[in-house]
Structures are given as C-alpha cells and as structure tokens.
Amino acid sequence: MLDYLLPRYKVLRDRDECVQCGVCERSCANGVHKVDEDLGRVTADHAKCVNCQRCVVMCPTTAIAITRWPQVDAGSGNWTLEAMQDIAKQAQTGAVLLASMGNPKDYPIYWDHLLLNASQVTNPSIDPLREPMETRVFLGSRPGMLKVNEREHVVMTPMPPQIRLDVPLMFSAMSFGSVSLNAQKSLAMAAKELGTYFNTGEGGLHRDLEAYADHAIVQVASGRFGVDPHYLNAGAAIEIKIGQGAKPGIGGHLPGEKINEEVSRTRMIPQGTDAISPAPHHDIYSIEDLRQLIFSLKEATLYRKPVAVKIAAVHNVAAIASGMARAGADIIVVDGFRGGTGAAPKRIRDNVGIPIELALAAVDQRLRDEGIRSTVSLVAAGSVRSSADVVRAIALGADAAYIASAALIALGCHQCQDCSSGRCNWGIATQNPDLTKRLNPEVAAERVVNLVRGWNHEIKEMMGGMGINAIDSLRGNRLMLRGIGLNDKELEILGVKYAGE
Amino acid sequence: MPIRESLREGAVRIPSGCAIAGIMDRSGARHDGSDILKSIALMHDRGNGLGGGFAAYGIYPEYRDLYAFHIMYESREARAETEAYLDTFFMSEKQERIPTEPVAAIKNPPDIWRYFVAPHPMRLNMSGLDEAEYTMQHVFHINGKVNGAFVASSGKNMGAFKGVGYPEDIGEFYRIRDYDAWAWTAHGRFPTNTPGWWGGAHPFTLLNWSVVHNGEISSYDANRRYVEQFGYGCELQTDTEVITYLFDLLARRHGFSQEMAAHIMTASSWDDIDRMDPDRAAFETALRVAYSSALVNGPFSVILGSDEGLLALNDRLKLRALMVGEKGPMTYLASEQAAIEVICPDVENVRPVEGGVPFVVQLDEVAERKRRESAENRPAREKPYQHEVGVMPPKRKEA
C-alpha cells in the first residue's frame, strides 16, 4: 500500500559550512543523515526526522537547521494538514494514534494571563540579598489545631509525617522504563543536592538509586510494578497515582521490547513481557476503596510516610480532591492536561482534561469552602515552565509545584514528542545503551541543579518585590495576581481580579 | 444636589499608614483619656484626618458583666432594625446615646449609641455556642446584614470611640477625658483613599479584642482566606480586621496565650530554627507547619488590647517603628518616642519593640493568675460552657 504520509520536517544543510565529518550521522538514531562518499555530500532522509535537534546542537560547524516541511495545506481552516495526515496514518495502519509529551494544542495558557504584584510606597519591597527569604515548604497533612505546652515548648498533638522541601518544587513521576536509568539518576542526584524529591513513577526503585531513596517519592499505580514493603519504606513519601494529566482515564503500556533485564528486575516482571497498567486501580472503584488503599500503605509503613494521591485535572476535580482529603490523603496532587507523558493516545492527550490553573484554583477554593485546606497539602503539576509559573501556582493556592518537562529540557529534551519510539537521541526516553550513555548523570544533574537554583533566586526576587519574605505568605494569596485578557467566568474560577482593579 | 457616594471599607482594599499609641497601668488603676489624647495628637502628621479613634479598658465597671455594644447608625431605620434584632437575641440592661461634644472639624457624625446587654439565655442555650461565639456571630450579622449600622465595639467593660477626623478631634468629640480606663490605645489614620466612613476607622474591635495597626501586610489575602475557612467574614478588607480575627482564632478558639498567638503570627525564621536544639526545633517547626497560613508578612506594628492587657508586635523584619517605655506601673507604647516623652518626660527603659518578638504587659492580677494556670492551651470547644454548667444553683444541704 502506498504510504500517503508526508515528511514533517526538512533538514536544511549549509553546504558551505558542512565539512562532512559525520557527527550528524552518528548522532541520529532515526537514521536521517548519511555521509554519501559517492556523491561527496551528506544526504538526509527527511521523513525520518522528528526534530529532536540533536544534530543541530552537535554539528561542529552549525551547518544544520530543521524547518517545517514546506508543503502548504489545502487552504482550509478545517482540514488542516495535521488533520489530514492523522487520517492518512490511521487509514494506513488501522491503529490508535500514539503521541508523547503534554497537550500541544492551542488552548489558553492561563499562566500567561496572570500578572504578578510588586510593592510601591505603601509598603516596602524586601531585598533578598539583605533579608532572609524563606522558600522552605513542608508537605503532609496537619492538625487544624495544635495542643502545646507553652512553657516547656512541647507539642502534645501528634504531628503526622511531613517531608521537607528547601525549594517549592519537586520532580514529578517518570518511571525507569519510560525514561533511562541515567535520566532518573540525574534527577535523583539533583533532588538530593537541592533538598527536594524525585518521583520513581510506576517503575520501582532501581538498586542504583537506593542511595537517593530518602529523596524519592515512591509511586504506587494501577499495575503495582516494583511495589513491595522494602520499596514503600525506602522512599520519603508514597504517591498513589490515580491519573495523569496527559492521559486522564486510561492506563499505561510499556511494550515488551523496552523491558530489558534491569527494567524487569526493578519492575519485578518477566523480561520481554508488556507492562500494562490498567486504566483504573482494580481495587479502587470508589472513594471508600481509595481510603482502604491509603491506609493499607500507611499500615505498611507504620504511619511514618505521608501518602500523596495524584489525579488528572478533570471536570469534577474539586469535588474529587475534597473526597481524597477526606479519604486520608496527606498530599493532593493535581496534574493538568499539559503535563507530559512517555506515550499516550493522541486523541486522549489532545482532548481530555482541563488546564491546571483552573483545576488548582477550583480545588484550593473548594477545600477552603469545606474548611479543610489547612489540614492537607496541595501540589500542582502539568506544565510549570518557569519560576513565574511556580509563583503563580503558589499564589493560586498550591503548596508546591511538580516539574518534569522543564527538568527534562534541562537534561537536553527538545520536546520532539517522539518519546514512545524509544529512539531518544538525548538518552532520556530510551533504554538503548548506545543512546543512554549520552546522558552523563553528573553533568545532567548539575544542569538541573542550576535550573532550579536559578528559579529559586527568581522566586525570591519576585516574593521580595511583593513584600513577602516567606513562601507561606504567598500560598493562596490571590491578591498578588491580576488577570489580563480573561472573561468574568475565568476570573471567578481563578479567584483573581482584573488588572487595574 | 446629590451627594457623591464615597468608597467604603469593604468595597475596595485601601492601604493606609498610621500612628498608634497605647498606655496601660499594670496595677489596674484607672486614668482619664487626657494622656492618650496628648500622645496621639503629637503624631498628627502621621495621620491625614481621615480616621482616628481610641479603645479603653475598664470604663464601665458598673456593667462589667455585660457586653457593651457601641453602635453607629446612619439612619433611624438602621437603629430600629438593629434594636429589634438586639431585642430578639440579647437582653438589654441599659441603652443610651453616647454623649458627644460638637467639634468644628468633625462633620456628619452618625448617631452613636451604647447598649449593655446579656445574651438571651434560652436562645444562647439553644444555639449550642458559648457566650463569646454567640455574641460574635450576632455582631457579624449586624455589621454584614443591617444596612447603615456598625458595631464599633462589643466587649465587656471596654469600648471603642472612633470616627472620621484627626484623633485629637475625635477624642474631643467623644469627650474621652470623661472616661477612666486602665488601658488606652489610640490610632491616627493615613488611608490612601477617602473612605469617609466612621465604621472603617480604627481601632478595630471584636468582643474584648481591640487592634490598632500601622502598616500594610503583604500576606493579607493568604491570612484572609485562612480565617475565612473558620467563619470569619472579612467584610472590611482591612489588615486590622484580619489581624484581629487571627488573634481571636488562635487565642480564644485555640486557647493559646496571646504571646504564643503573636509568636505564631511572626514565627521564628528557619535560619533560627535550624540553630535550635532538636526538641525546640521540632516544636517551632510544628507550629510553623500547622499554622503556616497564620504567618503575617510585610510591614506592621500592632497594639492588641484585651481584658488581659496590651500586646505589642512588630513584623519579623522590623519594617515599622514602635517604641515602648515604662515608669512604675505604667507602660507606654507609641509609633514615635516623642509621643511617649510628651506625656511622661522621665520615662524609663525606652526601647524599640523588637521585630517578631511580642511585647506583653498584663494586669498584675492577670499575670498572677496565668502563672498558676497550666501552660497547655485549652481550645474553647473543649471547655464546658459557663451557661451550661453554671445554671443550676448548688444543691442545698438539708438540715
């Protein structure tokens, strides 16, 4: 059958600059470039290019650039080239379209419609170089009221377990299997250095990462891969994954070819078998079942670890989150639809779920309406792109933010959205040893540490400008935000005033 | 010609700077209002004539067991509606217009009344609330629901006298020299906007609490959204209001000492906590974690008045001025040292209130009682209600 698919990208090569060294050929696991001795030049198989930009970065003479395939569409705003290409692909294969990373569609990005405040005259801004500027956060549930002995400085109320973050963000779940061990190790090392946490995802904790276990959040998802008492007790906290922003309502599928010896050992499944995480947890068909799982995990860890529950941001997210708090979750994680994934059906990724900004605002407000916001922690995930997004998330009501795509971009990811192929040229979303060795964990960890330190400096600057010197006072402080380009309903849900109000 | 309706507190958020002052006699001896008037008048330039007021403790000893409501009315209808409401939920021992003096600078004062009331015993019993909570909720109702009425103060044996004008003019208007109190606080306001509403002047009060405050807290919305979870409606959108509610939540409902409540609001820095021994660090960490949304940030100096005495508090970075001085049983507090020296030239121990370190002065009898009490906080909900356990007369011994 003739394949009607067009190439997506075109490799532009500057003949004057190219020295035919072959670095591009060796860089590309997709087999795009070829040094053709006979022709005396380097050729490109454009159709194979995914625009990961590895060759662009590696080319010693900067001779390469990637551009979109210059084919025009049919001139219809309805039948775009993408829509027609998707049909051509499915007509060819009869399969579900697969995609990676977060929702790339042109939905509103509410972060970009929220402006931050600064002090002028009536109160002073605070200089983070002169005054202490506190970004430490604790996550866990807490009693609404403490009983103490004031003279002896003793707390009588038993305090539930907490995890301490020195920066108000963590690295969200990416399993060994979906990403390489080197990628996970990079984040683990960075988390330890920064005083924060990485998340094992549903892939178990590799023995090489045991040294970083006190900076790990160990995930329990519907496939229960890698879960045993040792695993649960090794981490700093446990996260039950109900859903993921990139693919709400469906499970996961790690194909057998990616289950090599190490992945097999860590996930505790036979080598070469598909690792299928069912769409629901088959022991959770309702909220009361969630309570049982939460308390099973607490029992298994002697109530020493906070238990987080992560859900995808969906329509009824506020009520669900409130139910989770009442079911005993210590930390509520809400993941918006722009959050990434190693693989998801394209139609799910692009059409299911809601933006984290609206979900976060709705959840925080609902928990307050119920009078339980102060007894539970709230973490926002799903495309936090900069320190300003972290500040916005906290001002909307989050205790901390999860980042993953941003951390991967620090490692080298260029968001080509081809993770599911297993041919990640940056050594991140692959188990191919020739590719994974491209990622040096020490160097990569340093890049992530640099990124987060830079963000934390910026967060302190922004807080100082607002006249705030502890992140506690930013949390839920929506007066520090103003909307721009939003309608009344959006302002109401976000709980912010319009710029100029 | 129609009068242009000016903005009120509650309609918008109005930042303001201020002068504050406080005087207290630990022994409980009472002094008239002339000193506090002189002290706040010296700081004339820290206000702009758009708000001034006083709170006084110990002024109604003959009605010490009754709630003294000072209520401002903008219309006869507001008074009729409020009095009907009070008649339903309280029993009034006495009600009268608060005596005032015409002062040239004071324009359009409202009709100001005071009521000495006790909660209606059966309705109180039926409410399932304790007396303080019951009274508080009805004060919230009048302030939020009755158009043109505002409860300026609602404590026992205390009262607030406030309005639009310079504090020295407001003091003359209310004839505060005629009252004797063991503690006085005063406020001169510099709002950036022109609310021109008497209810919006300070001190802000609730039950026995009164708060005068100078500063603009940058944590306002975090604090507001925290206390609103527990039924405190922040109608006025002012810092003073939310600070009062935080004290009420922590000190009355959660039962902490005022000093501990203030400490929670200006918690130790993490740098300091990291230097503490592990036990103390665990204690401070638990407080910060459980009450992180009660942390108050940004520049402020506050004088809190209550039936126990005065508490002065500065923000953690000491971004606002507040001085304290002593002489015998007297304690003086003011935004400026000169405002203390003008009334007590030979004042001793003059010093700034340190950032984040509450300064507490209690009545001698209160301090003595506190020393004997347990140091564990006892939440309001855990105490038996006086009106529930104290109604039956003790059993008479049969001869």
Q: What is the pLDDT of residue B190?
A: 79
CB B48 within 8 A of CB B232: no
- List the pLDDT tens digit at each of the 399 positions of chain B: 444 455 666 666 666 668 999 999 999 999 999 999 999 999 988 888 788 999 999 999 999 999 999 999 999 999 999 999 999 999 999 999 999 999 999 988 999 999 999 999 999 999 989 999 999 999 999 998 999 999 999 999 999 999 999 999 999 999 999 999 999 999 998 776 656 688 888 899 999 999 999 888 999 999 999 999 998 988 878 888 999 999 999 999 999 999 999 999 999 999 999 999 999 999 999 999 999 999 999 889 999 999 999 999 999 999 889 999 999 999 999 999 999 999 999 999 999 999 999 999 999 999 999 999 989 998 887 777 766 665 555 555 554
pLDDT-based confidence at residue A232 (cuts at 50, 70, 90): very high
Kindly state whether B226 is in contact with chain A, defined as any CB-CB distance less than 8 angstroms: yes
With 90 as the cut, is the pLDDT of residue A252 above it? no
Task: Return the sign of the alpha-carbon dihedral for residues A158, A163, A166, A167.
Answer: negative
Structure tokens at B60: 């109604």
The total number of residues shown for chain A amounts to 501
Q: What is the pLDDT of residue B48?
A: 81
With 80 as the cut, is the pLDDT of residue A497 above it? yes
Domain with B44 in it: 16-215+299-375
pLDDT digits (tens, 9 = 90+) for A367-398: 999 999 999 999 999 999 999 999 999 999 99
Q: Which residues of B touch A160 (CB under 8 A)?
A: none
Which residue from B minimizes the CA distance to A154? B283
Q: What is the pLDDT of residue A351?
A: 96
What is the per-residue burial (b if ≥16 Cβ within 10 Å, else e) of B239-253? bbbbbbbbbbbbbbb
Kindly state whether B399 is in contact with chain A, defined as any CB-CB distance less than 8 angstroms: no
User: In one letter, which amino acid is A306?
Assistant: P
The total number of residues shown for chain B amounts to 399
Task: State yes or no: is B344 an active-site residue.
Answer: no
Mutation for testing the A interface, residue in B218, B224, B319 having most A CBs under 10 Å: B218
Distance CA A383, CA A102 (A): 8
Among B14, B34, B301, B341, smallest CA distance to B179 is for: B34
CATH class of the domain defined by A9-95: alpha beta
DSSP B156: B
Of B271, B288, B376, the CB nearest to A148: B376
Q: Is residue B311 part of a domain?
A: yes
With 90 as the cut, is the pLDDT of residue A467 above it? yes
Q: Is residue B22 part of a domain?
A: yes
How many Cβ contacts (< 8 angstroms) between chains A and B?
145
Q: What is the pLDDT of residue B12?
A: 66
List all residues of chain A from 122 to 181 with a beta carbon under 8 Å from chain B: 122-124, 126, 131-132, 134, 136, 138, 140, 142-157, 159, 162
With 70 as the cut, is the pLDDT of residue A127 above it? yes
The minimum CA-CA distance between B381 and chain A, rounded to whole Å, is: 11
Q: What is the pLDDT of residue B201?
A: 86
Cβ neighbours of residue B23 closer than 8 Å, sequence gap 6 or more? B31, B35, B36, B39, B183, B184, B185, B330, B331, B332, B333, B343
Of B217, B222, B259, the CB nearest to A476: B222
CB A401 within 8 A of CB A165: no
Distance CA A201, CA A404 (A): 11
Cβ neighbours of residue B396 closer than 8 Å, sequence gap 6 or more? none
What CATH number does the domain containing B330 carry? 3.60.20.10
CB pair distance less than 8 Å for B377 and A142:
no
Catalytic residue among B10, B16, B18, B166: B18
Among A488, A415, A304, A478, smallest CA distance to A66 is for: A415
pLDDT more than 70, % of chain A = 100
Q: Which residues of B touch A151 (CB under 8 A)?
A: 375
Cβ neighbours of residue A448 closer than 8 Å, sequence gap 6 or more? A171, A186, A187, A190, A407, A410, A411
pLDDT digits (tens, 9 = 90+) for A398-423: 999 999 999 999 999 999 999 999 99
CB pair distance less than 8 Å for A148 and B283:
yes
pLDDT digits (tens, 9 = 90+) for A60-71: 999 999 999 999
pLDDT digits (tens, 9 = 90+) for A138-153: 999 999 999 999 999 9
ipTM value: 0.93
Among B207, B215, B245, B200, smallest CA distance to B52 is for: B200
Residue A291 exposed, middle or buried by CB count within 10 Å (0-12, 13-18, 19+): middle
Q: Is residue B273 part of a domain?
A: no
Kindly state whether B16 is in contact with chain A, defined as any CB-CB distance less than 8 angstroms: yes
Cis check: omega of the bond before A168, within 30 degrees of 0: no
Q: Which CATH superfamily is domain A137-471 in?
A: Aldolase class I (3.20.20.70)
CB pair distance less than 8 Å for B256 and A472:
no
List all residues of chain A from 460 to 489 with a beta carbon under 8 Å from chain B: 466-470, 472-480
Which residue from B minimizes the CA distance to A496? B221
Q: How many CB atoms are located within 10 Å of the residue A333 CB?
A: 33
User: In one letter, which amino acid is A188?
Assistant: A
CB A198 within 8 A of CB A187: yes
pLDDT digits (tens, 9 = 90+) for A409-466: 999 999 999 999 999 999 999 999 999 999 999 999 999 999 999 999 999 999 999 9
Q: What is the pLDDT of residue B284?
A: 97
Distance CA A81, CA A88 (A): 10
Q: Which residues of B touch A474 (CB under 8 A)?
A: 222
Which residue from B minimizes the CA distance to A479? B221
Q: Is residue B393 part of a domain?
A: no
Tell me the domain boundaries of chain A.
9-95, 137-471
The minimum CA-CA distance between A410 and chain B, rounded to whole Å, is: 30
Mutation for testing the A interface, residue in B225, B228, B263, B293 having most A CBs under 10 Å: B225
Kindly state whether B299 is in contact with chain A, defined as any CB-CB distance less than 8 angstroms: yes
Kindly state whether B233 is in contact with chain A, defined as any CB-CB distance less than 8 angstroms: no
Which secondary structure element, helix H or strand E, spans residue B360, and what is its range?
Answer: strand B359-362
How many domains does the structure of chain B reveal?
A: 1
Helices B258-265/B239-247 angle, 10° precision: 130
Kindly state whether B283 is in contact with chain A, defined as any CB-CB distance less than 8 angstroms: yes
Q: What's the Cα-to-Cα distance from B62 to each of B58, B116, B142, B151, rounded to whole Å?
A: 10, 10, 26, 21
Q: What is the pLDDT of residue B1?
A: 40
CB B92 within 8 A of CB B208: no
CB B213 within 8 A of CB B240: yes
